[in-house]
Amino acid sequence: MKYSLCIGAYEGKDVIYHLEKIKSHGFHGLEYYNWWDLDLHDIAREQERIGVGISATCTSFFNLVDSGQRERYVQGIKDTIVACSILGAKSIITQTGNVIEDIPRDKQRETMIETLKICAPLCEEAGVTLEIEPMNGLVDHRGHFLQYSDEAVSILEQVNSPNVKLVFDVYHQQITEGNVIRNATGFSDYINHYHIADNPGRQQPGTGELNYVNILKAIKDTGYTGFIGLECGYTIDPDEAIDHFKQSIVSRVEC
């Protein structure tokens, strides 16, 4: 498996600083969300110099449940695909938007499926994967439409594209549904990459209730070889936290 950090791991530091830290830690990628803030060609040159790059970014507009926003959403995907081609990023993360109170949930779900079906061939042609992300509505994202992993998979089954998949965020799914190992492995065919953080607090693995040795071993046992992204805060110096994560968790997973 490959490991990535998310922008903000080193508070106040820029992309280049993060990439150099990722290289020094022996990790494999950076998740940078707002690609539109970057000089893309400059970052591409720096990635080549450093030897590690941006592995995932976000689309520039989040709303999959409002049919009136479909054109804007699809244009955002097109723009993000162009950015990915410059950066060499292979994953585009999307949220779904919040529930629209006066529209039936089934109608919003169908809107999402139809929009993803429009985006699927664009992603297939570009060789990038669009990842929908369920997020918890209890603590961090009240009202977010997509929260449960089984519903996400049922949507992906209808879209039926190898380039539209799921980012499984262990932190979010622990809060929303628990049953983490069963869902993280049982839905592995639909998962393109994983986010990890501990709960409660969304801090680095090892600070809360989640047994990340067991979780990551179970994911590895499915044959998964993609990215595990540390999307978390840090209770101590990030370098110390990452070193501890490698020594106490990664080394036991990879042995």
Q: What mean pLDDT comes out for the span 197-219?
A: 98
Q: State the pLDDT at residue 106.
A: 97
Looking at every residue in the chain, the average pLDDT score rounds to 98
Average confidence (pLDDT) over 154-167: 98
What is the set of active-site residues? Answer: 133, 231
Q: Please check the confidence at residue 255 and state whether its pLDDT lies above 90.
A: no
Write the CATH number of the domain with boundaries 2-254: 3.20.20.150
Residue extents of the structural domains in the chain: 2-254
Give 4-32 pLDDT, tens digit per residue: 999 999 999 999 999 999 999 999 999 99
pLDDT digits (tens, 9 = 90+) for 226-248: 999 999 999 999 999 999 999 99
DSSP annotation of 249: I
- The distance from CA 201 to its chain's CA centroid, rounded to whole angstroms, is 18
For 71, residues 6+ apart whose C-beta sits below 8 A from its C-beta are none
> What pLDDT, on the 0 to 100 scale, is given for residue 58?
98
Q: Which of 183, 200, 204, 184 is nearest to 248 (CA)?
A: 204
